[in-house]
Structure 1
């Protein structure tokens, strides 16, 4: 799928969000640290990037032979992930808030209490529910609209995200869209 098409596939979803404003120099330094291996761009404490790819590849092959067993293993893996996150507890989840977001592979829009300045850069840690998948990205504020009910609708454009994390985000969006379509079909019948 082209990069351009990915940006337009959007959903409304509840996510865990942690925002940290960054000066442009801090942002550039973080990117340099990632390139030099001084810092890791992944925050997921449960699933290092290579393990996710391996597990998905094993599951895909198993699904071709035994669909039910693959489904059971996937459910067990998700349960283990939740247990590990619970054990990691408050320290890892510190600073995250559960919010409603309009999200795509190219950015997100959320309601915030305070209005950031357009052009401001943020380090964005994102937790995708219910799978508890955590991503790190950097975003730039591209729009701020005051809400009648209070607060501000803030739109962020992702200016940096790993390809692996963007793929996870796209997969999550597609899964959520399928669930939303299935739910709307049940309501109509």
Structure 2
């Protein structure tokens, strides 16, 4: 392989996601609406991110107040987990290899190279959900299982969603590296 073909724009990680996956059918009009649960989870995540710096400042001066606020955050985290459980009926868990530009997973049925799919994805543990279209760039049958390794290239991923996905990947990669270091 030529060096330029080996170079990637984004890091890749092995991850487990909750996802709804459906082929784009001729005549589809635009993107499907994100479930309300996704919108609520994303809003909770955004608020938590905005409040984290304030919480650190409060902690420096008022430990009791900071402890109370941290416990409130735990309540919101429990509510987030409950909301995620509600998705189990219409979403499935997949083990994926994911980057900021696409993902690869194993499916029982093949997918036509070049076909477009709707991907509605929820990332753990942050519970961040997003929608994108994906174009099948690879479909290879696995001899040992008979399943198909299918690679999707994200084609309509919003910049904000891609930024959040890259943050997630970086965070998960750092966590894995720490785990490996401590294991040695």
TM bracket (short chain): 0.7 to 0.9
Give the aligned partner of residue 98 of structure 2: 103
Distance 1:95 1:120 in 2: 22
- In structure 1, runs of 5+ residues without a counterpart are 32-38
Residue 184 of structure 1: aligned partner: 180
Q: CA deviation at 1:101?
A: 0.4
Pair 1:177–1:137, CA change in 2 (3 A): same
In structure 1, distance between residues paired with 2:58 and 2:45: 20
Q: Which stretch has the larger CA shift, 58-67 or 152-161?
A: 58-67
Give the superposed CA RMSD: 2.7
Which residue number corresponds to residue 9 of structure 1? Answer: 11
The answer to whether the Cα contact below 8 Å between 1:78 and 1:131 also exists between their aligned partners in 2 is no
Contact 1:43 1:134 in 2 (8 A): no
In 2, are the aligned partners of 1:6 and 1:106 still within 8 Å (CA)? no
C-alpha displacement of 1:165 = 2.0
When the two structures are superposed, what TM-score results if normalisation uses the length of structure 2? Answer: 0.78
Structure 2 Cα separation of the partners of residues 75 and 140 of structure 1: 38
Distance (whole Å) between structure 2 residues aligned to residue 76 and residue 60 of structure 1: 19
Q: TM-score, normalised by structure 1?
A: 0.76
Can you give the 5+ residue segments of structure 2 that lack an aligned partner in the other structure?
Answer: 1-6
TM-fit CA distance, 1:106: 0.6
The structure with more radius of gyration: 2
Residues 76 and 83 of structure 1: is their aligned pair in 2 closer, same or farther, counting only changes over 3 Å? same
